[in-house]
């Protein structure tokens, strides 16, 4: 409903994706000297993170993203992340990509649900961006790109009213409705129940600007307070300590959106017992794999994604989101039908080719690239491969 939702959705999901990839790459990395040719090193990890982040924060891409528009389906959005995850030497199998997307979406759903105020979704976004800047602190050019987006977020969102933020939040909640995938780390921390629903605490600090419930004040017809009474409930609330900062730099005061993964806390999902509601929700989606508008959106957005193909003789390194290859294989075979994302086969029809060529023609090439001559064909070829 709110036409301002997409940038927040995209950046937060992207942030979660980077947390997960970083954790898996660290978990699977081998010290440089000891690594064989097909094993990950720290240098590889940093390169992957840099490649993905610089692709994500590409200026043209961000321009398209920030245009007022409706939210697109999970399927369409998933296509963009598929592309992003493959923006470097890293490769993911379908099963790992599915799991990655599950984790990303459940994490952000949790953050949106638990935001004390609708406006705090912006603080969650800033938490993600702060962490992304940490990933690329050694590369000033990429850092600059992220800061640009940071500034654009501040410009676009800090002036919105609470009511507008609530509309954004409601739009996000509709997007995440009926998703109840169980995430190991959430189950262990007891923030998610075994039925996949998140725990909503009834204690702790109230949002900034809200009073602790309990007080009733009565005023007479002149506006003078004449009586105070109190009521009690099961909740156990306290006043908050401080408000988070909405500046470029600052203490966000909110844990939501910070990195909850570390090498010692592996990422797992359980797919068993998917609820009936997921099935009925899936049926409500239009029968066409992608509506015309979604294809247009993807063409515009992808036009801004400058994907580098692996140079020369380098082959892609495969990243596994599961603990073993056998587990990944098993997950691919046993994924419930209604939870399949059915990655789209975009046909590069004549119409699409013309549109993409136009977008590419408009793109300014900042520095000369070694394979710029065949860029148009490369991008279309990549789309055909999907």
Whether residue 319 contacts residue 90, with contact meaning beta carbons closer than 8 Å, is answered with yes
The residue (of 220 and 333) whose beta carbon lies closer to another protein is 220
Per CB under 8 A, 2 contacts another protein: yes
Query: Which one of residues 36, 37, 200, 373 is an interface residue with another protein (CB under 8 A)?
Result: 200
Lookup: tokens for 198: 């998140």
Strands 317-319 and 225-230: unpaired
The three-state DSSP-derived secondary structure of 98-109 is HHHHHHHHHHHH
The residue (of 53 and 115) whose beta carbon lies closer to another protein is 115
The C-alpha atoms of residue 180 and residue 198 are separated, in whole angstroms, by 9
Work out how close the CB of 183 gets to another protein at its nearest, in angstroms, rounded to a whole number.
16
The residue (of 11 and 319) whose beta carbon lies closer to another protein is 11
Partners of residue 198 on adjacent β-strands? 192
CA of 127: how far to CAs of 123, 138, 241, in Å? 6, 19, 18
Per CB under 8 A, 70 contacts another protein: yes
* CB atoms closer than 10 angstroms to residue 214: 12
Question: Across the chain, which distance is largest between two alpha carbons, in Å?
Answer: 83
CA angle 243, 183, 93 (to 5 degrees): 115
The residue (of 19 and 157) whose beta carbon lies closer to another protein is 157
Lookup: tokens for 10: 């995209």
Return the closest-CA partner of residue 310 out of 219, 224, 371.
371
Candidates 85-93, 96-104, 226-234, 372-380 — which segment interacts with another protein by CB under 8 A?
226-234
Per CB under 8 A, 233 contacts another protein: yes
The residue (of 27 and 206) whose beta carbon lies closer to another protein is 206
Query: Which one of residues 36, 140, 194, 229 is an interface residue with another protein (CB under 8 A)?
Result: 229
Per CB under 8 A, 360 contacts another protein: no
The C-alpha atoms of residue 294 and residue 72 are separated, in whole angstroms, by 7
Please tell me what DSSP assigns to residue 218: E
Per CB under 8 A, 206 contacts another protein: yes
Per CB under 8 A, 68 contacts another protein: yes
Footprint of another protein on 139-198 (CB under 8 A):
161-164, 166-167, 169-170, 173-174, 177-178, 180, 193, 197-198
Work out how close the CB of 299 gets to another protein at its nearest, in angstroms, rounded to a whole number.
14
Residues that bind another protein (CB under 8 A): 1-4, 68-70, 72-73, 113, 116, 118, 161-164, 166-167, 169-170, 173-174, 177-178, 180, 193, 197-200, 202, 206-207, 209-221, 223, 226-227, 229, 231, 233-235, 237, 277, 280-281, 284, 286, 291-294
């Amino acid at each position: 409903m709110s036409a301002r939702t997409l940038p927040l959705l995209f950046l937060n999901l992207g942030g979660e994706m980077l947390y997960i990839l970083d954790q898996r790459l660290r978990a699977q990395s081998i010290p440089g000297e000891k690594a064989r040719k097909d094993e990950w090193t720290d240098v590889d990890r940093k390169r992957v993170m840099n490649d993905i982040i610089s692709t994500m924060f590409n200026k043209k891409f961000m321009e398209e993203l920030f245009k007022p528009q409706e939210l697109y389906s999970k399927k369409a959005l998933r296509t963009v992340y598929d592309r992003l995850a493959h923006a470097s030497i890293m490769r993911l199998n379908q099963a790992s990509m599915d799991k990655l997307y599950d984790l990303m979406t459940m994490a952000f759903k949790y953050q949106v649900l638990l935001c004390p105020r609708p406006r705090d979704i912006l603080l969650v976004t800033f938490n993600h961006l702060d962490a992304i800047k940490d990933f690329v602190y050694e590369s000033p050019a990429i850092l600059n790109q992220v800061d640009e987006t940071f500034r654009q977020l501040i410009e676009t969102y800090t002036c919105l009213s609470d009511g507008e933020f609530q509309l954004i939040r409601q739009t996000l909640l509709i997007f995440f409705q009926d998703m109840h995938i169980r995430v190991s780390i959430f189950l262990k921390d007891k923030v998610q129940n075994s039925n996949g629903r998140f725990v909503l605490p009834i204690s702790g600090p109230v949002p900034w600007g809200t009073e602790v419930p309990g007080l009733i004040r009565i005023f007479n017809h002149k506006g003078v307070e004449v009586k105070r009474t109190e009521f009690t409930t099961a909740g156990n609330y306290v006043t908050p300590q401080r408000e988070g900062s909405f500046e470029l730099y600052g203490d966000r005061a909110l844990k939501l959106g910070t990195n909850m993964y570390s090498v010692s806390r592996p990422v797992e999902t359980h797919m068993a017992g998917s609820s009936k509601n997921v099935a009925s929700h899936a049926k409500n989606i239009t029968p066409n794999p992608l509506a015309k508008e979604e294809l247009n959106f993807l063409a515009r957005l992808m036009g801004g994604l400058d994907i580098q193909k692996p140079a020369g003789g380098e082959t892609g390194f495969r990243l596994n989101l599961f603990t073993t290859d056998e587990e990944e294989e098993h997950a691919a075979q046993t994924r419930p039908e209604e939870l399949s994302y059915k990655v789209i086969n975009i046909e590069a029809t004549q119409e699409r080719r013309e549109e993409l060529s136009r977008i590419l023609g408009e793109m300014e090439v900042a520095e000369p690239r070694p394979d710029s001559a065949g860029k148009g064909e490369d991008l279309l070829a990549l789309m055909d491969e999907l």
